[in-house]
Amino acid sequence: MSGFEGSYLGANDRIGPAAVMECKICWTPYDPAMGDDFRQILPGTPFTALPEDWSCPHCGAPKNQFMVLSDPEADAVSAAVAERVARLVADFEDVWHSKMRDVPLVNKALHVEAVGFRLHEGRPLGVLVAPWFMNLVLLPAEGEDWSALAPGEKEIIAFPSGDYEFLHNVRPMGGGYKACSLFSPMNDFSSQLQAVEVARAVMAALFDPENRAETDRAAEIRAAREADLAPPAADPEPSRRAVITASLGQAG
């Protein structure tokens, strides 16, 4: 099993070289500054550089059972991203209150929320959930000016799971951004929690090359999504796999 069950939904590249990891079974930490005497791992070895067969020296749990305890690099990135994402959210909260609140097709069980934003090639990338859409959103890098983007212009952007069509747009507070539609309208979602869980799953699947083939079957995937998102009486949550492939297939 690859990835980290408790950290970043398996996005291993988000684990910084100085990150201190902690076993979620027995709470034993791995500190790169200390290494691991038991396995003769030298001090200064990042967690992501440990051998694949490395395991917790205390309980034997595999690497995928370790969670981020502290990560100075990630903390700095989070602060830099947060300000730009906050402006994006403020823009769409303004749209919601001024223009969309009384539109019949909106889902009033939902609200505007930014989900899973991280730096991708120096630019903040994440999912924006709103009562009327769910979009994958790419923001400009620090010091990059996208205010001259032509609204409605299309651009294909490649990710490990496939190539996706993004539309350019500009907002008064947040400036220019690029958006890829995942869901619209949002009537299939019964709660904000459900929408956020789907958004997080999409962010994880976006960087998984195994999903590339799925993005080439948009019509079939969309039909599967509509069937799986119909909430059964006992469990209103859609299956994670169906939602991931459906949204990425539609976007691709």
CATH topology of domain 74-251: Yope Regulator; Chain: A, (3.30.1460)
130-155 pLDDT, tens per residue? 999 999 999 999 889 999 999 999 99
- Architecture per CATH, domain 8-70, reads as Single Sheet (2.20)
**In the structure encoding, which two tokens stand for residue 16, read together?**
């910084």
206-235 pLDDT, tens per residue? 888 887 765 554 555 455 556 666 665 555
**Alpha-carbon gap, residue 132 to 234, rounded angstroms:** 26
Query: Quick one: DSSP state of residue 179?
Result: E
**In the structure encoding, which two tokens stand for residue 122, read together?**
């120096």
Q: Where is pLDDT greater, at 204 or 35?
A: 35
Average pLDDT, integer, range 9-23: 73
Between the alpha carbon of residue 63 and those of residues 49, 117, 201, 205, the distances in Å are: 11, 24, 21, 20
For residues 212, 214, 218, 220, the Cα torsion angle rounded to the nearest 10 degrees is 170
Average pLDDT, integer, range 67-79: 73
pLDDT value of residue 232: 58
Category of 78 on φ-ψ map: left (φ > 0), alpha (ψ -120 to 50) or beta:
alpha
Q: Average per-residue pLDDT in the chain?
A: 83
**Alpha-carbon gap, residue 77 to 56, rounded angstroms:** 28
pLDDT band for position 10 (cuts 50, 70, 90): very low
Q: Where is pLDDT greater, at 26 or 73?
A: 26
Residue percentage of the chain with pLDDT more than 70: 75
- Please answer whether residues 119 and 75 qualify as being in contact, where contact means their C-beta atoms are separated by less than 8 angstroms: no
pLDDT value of residue 4: 44
Between the alpha carbon of residue 198 and those of residues 72, 107, 171, 179, 204, the distances in Å are: 28, 16, 25, 17, 10
77-105 pLDDT, tens per residue? 566 678 889 999 999 999 999 999 999 99
149-189 pLDDT, tens per residue? 999 999 999 998 899 999 999 998 889 999 999 999 999 99
pTM of the predicted model over 0.85 = no
**Alpha-carbon gap, residue 95 to 104, rounded angstroms:** 15
pLDDT value of residue 1: 34
**In the structure encoding, which two tokens stand for residue 227, read together?**
């069937």
Average pLDDT, integer, range 6-28: 74
pLDDT band for position 122 (cuts 50, 70, 90): confident
Domain limits, the chain: 8-70, 74-251
pLDDT of 242 > 90? The answer is no
